[in-house]
C-alpha cells in the first residue's frame, strides 16, 4: 500500500512539474534549434505522416534520407521533396521488418550520405482485429515493424551519435502505447514496447552524460492516414482524429524545441492521469472492439472512442 502511494505521489509530482513547465513555455516560447545540414532519416516516408515530415525537413534545410517498403510511394515522396530548389533527398527501399535489410541499407546510407544525426522511427503497421482473430504472422509483424525496427536502427545509427555527442532520436509511438485499446492488442502492445524502449535509451544517454543527444517520444491519437482510413471518433471534441498536417507540425515543433514527450491531443494526458486514479476498464471499455473487425485501412466506416464502442 505504501509503495502504491509512493508511486502515485511520484507520478503526480512529475505531472505537476511538466504541467507548470508547459504553462511557462506558453508564455515564454522555447528557442528552436537549427536543423539545416543535419542528416535526417525517416522510416515509413512513402506516404502519410512520413511524407509530410520529409517535406517539412527539406524546407528547413536538412539533408533528408527516406526509407519505405513501397518503392512507388517512396519515389513520389522523393519527387515532391526535390521540387524544393536546394533539396538534398536520398531514397532507399527498405523493409523495416527485416533486421539484416535495415543493417544493409544503414551501411549504404553511411557510405553515400554520412552519419545520420536525426533518426525518426515512423514506419508502422496495424491489423485492427480482436486478439484471438489475429494470426501469429500479423502479431509478429506488428512487433517487428513497430518496435524491433527501432532497436535495429538505434544499433545502426546511435554509436556515431554517441561518439559525437550529437543527435536526436524520435520515436513515433501512439496514444495506444499509453492506454490499451480493445481490438488493437498487438498494435497497442508493440507501441507500449517502442515507447518503453525509447524512454529507456533516453535515460541511458542521460546516465552517460550524452546531453547532446536529444529524444522526442510522440504519442498521438489516431491520425487520418492510410493506416486508419475511415476511422471516426465517437467523442470528436475530446478525442479528435488528427489531421496529418496538424500532427506533422506538432512533431516538427517538438523536435526543434527538444521536447521529450509529445502527447496529442492534450485530453490523452488527462486520460493518463485518470488511468492511475480509476479502473482502466472505465476508460477503454470491456466488451466491444475499438475498431471494426475488418482490416484497418480498408475504408470501412468506423467510430473509435475511449470506451472502445462502435456505432
| Spans of the chain, pLDDT less than 50 | 280, 283, 286-311
Cell of 160: 556515431
pLDDT at 2: 58
302 phi and psi, to 5 degrees?
-135, 155
- pLDDT tens digit string along 244-263? 999 999 999 999 999 999 98
Q: Is residue 310 part of a domain?
A: no
Residue 74's alpha-carbon distances to 31, 35, 171, 227, in angstroms, are 33, 23, 20, 16
At a CB cut-off of 8 Å and minimum separation 6, what does 132 contact? none
Evaluated on CA atoms 143, 147, 150, 156, the torsion sign reads: negative
pLDDT at 107: 98
Q: Is residue 87 part of a domain?
A: yes
Residue 292: CB atoms within 10 A of its CB come to: 19
At a CB cut-off of 8 Å and minimum separation 6, what does 201 contact? 154, 158, 169, 215
Q: Is residue 21 part of a domain?
A: no
261 is an active site residue: no
Yes or no: say if 201 and 247 are a contact pair by the CB < 8 Å rule.
no
pLDDT at 309: 36
| Dist CA 192 CA 133 (whole Å) | 21
We report the CATH number of the domain holding residue 81 as 3.40.50.720
| Dist CA 298 CA 291 (whole Å) | 12
| Adjacent-strand bridge partners of 220 | 264
Cis peptide before 166 (omega within 30 of 0): no
- Spell out where the chain has E strands: 39-42, 63-68, 88-93, 118-121, 167-172, 213-220, 231-233, 261-264, 302-304
Helix (H) or strand (E) holding 86: none
How many structural domains is the chain composed of? Answer: 1
Residue 53's alpha-carbon distances to 64, 234, 299, in angstroms, are 10, 28, 24
Q: Which domain holds residue 100?
A: 34-304
Yes or no: say if 220 and 291 are a contact pair by the CB < 8 Å rule.
no
| Dist CA 200 CA 51 (whole Å) | 28
154, 187, 202, 221: which one is catalytic? 187
pLDDT at 13: 75
Evaluated on CA atoms 259, 264, 269, 275, the torsion sign reads: negative
Residue 263's nearest CA partner among 228, 234, 308, 221 is 221
Q: Is residue 9 part of a domain?
A: no
DSSP-H helix ranges across 28-135: 48-59, 71-81, 99-112
pLDDT at 294: 41
pLDDT at 174: 93
Q: Is residue 26 part of a domain?
A: no
Q: What is the DSSP letter of 179?
A: S
Amino acid at each position: 500500500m505504501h509503495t502504491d502511494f509512493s508511486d502515485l505521489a511520484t507520478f503526480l509530482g512529475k505531472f505537476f512539474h511538466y504541467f507548470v513547465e508547459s504553462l511557462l513555455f506558453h508564455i515564454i516560447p522555447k528557442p528552436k534549434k537549427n536543423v539545416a545540414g543535419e542528416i535526417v532519416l525517416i522510416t515509413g516516408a512513402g506516404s502519410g505522416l512520413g511524407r509530410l515530415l520529409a517535406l517539412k525537413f527539406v524546407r528547413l534545410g536538412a539533408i533528408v534520407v527516406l526509407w519505405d517498403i513501397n518503392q512507388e510511394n517512396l519515389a513520389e515522396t522523393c519527387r515532391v521533396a526535390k521540387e524544393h530548389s536546394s533539396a538534398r533527398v536520398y531514397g532507399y527501399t527498405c523493409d523495416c521488418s527485416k533486421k539484416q535489410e535495415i543493417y544493409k541499407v544503414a551501411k549504404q546510407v553511411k557510405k553515400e550520405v554520412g552519419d545520420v544525426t536525426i533518426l525518426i522511427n515512423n514506419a508502422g503497421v496495424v491489423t485492427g482485429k480482436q486478439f484471438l482473430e489475429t494470426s501469429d504472422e500479423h502479431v509478429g509483424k506488428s512487433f517487428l515493424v513497430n518496435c524491433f525496427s527501432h532497436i535495429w536502427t538505434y544499433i545502426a545509427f546511435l554509436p556515431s551519435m554517441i561518439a559525437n555527442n550529437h543527435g536526436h532520436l524520435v520515436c513515433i509511438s501512439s496514444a495506444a502505447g499509453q492506454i490499451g485499446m480493445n481490438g488493437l492488442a498487438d498494435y497497442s502492445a508493440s507501441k507500449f514496447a517502442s515507447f518503453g524502449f525509447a524512454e529507456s535509451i533516453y535515460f541511458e544517454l542521460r546516465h552517460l552524460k550524452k546531453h547532446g543527444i536529444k529524444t522526442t517520444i510522440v504519442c498521438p491519437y489516431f491520425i487520418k492516414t492510410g493506416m486508419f482510413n475511415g476511422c471516426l471518433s465517437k467523442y470528436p471534441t475530446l478525442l479528435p482524429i488528427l489531421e496529418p498536417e496538424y500532427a506533422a507540425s506538432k512533431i516538427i515543433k517538438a523536435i526543434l524545441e527538444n521536447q521529450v514527450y509529445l502527447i496529442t491531443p492534450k485530453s490523452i494526458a488527462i486520460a493518463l492521469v485518470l488511468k492511475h486514479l480509476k479502473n482502466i476498464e472505465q476508460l477503454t471499455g470491456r466488451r466491444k472492439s475499438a475498431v471494426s473487425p475488418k482490416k484497418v485501412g480498408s475504408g470501412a466506416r468506423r467510430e473509435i472512442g475511449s470506451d472502445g464502442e462502435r456505432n
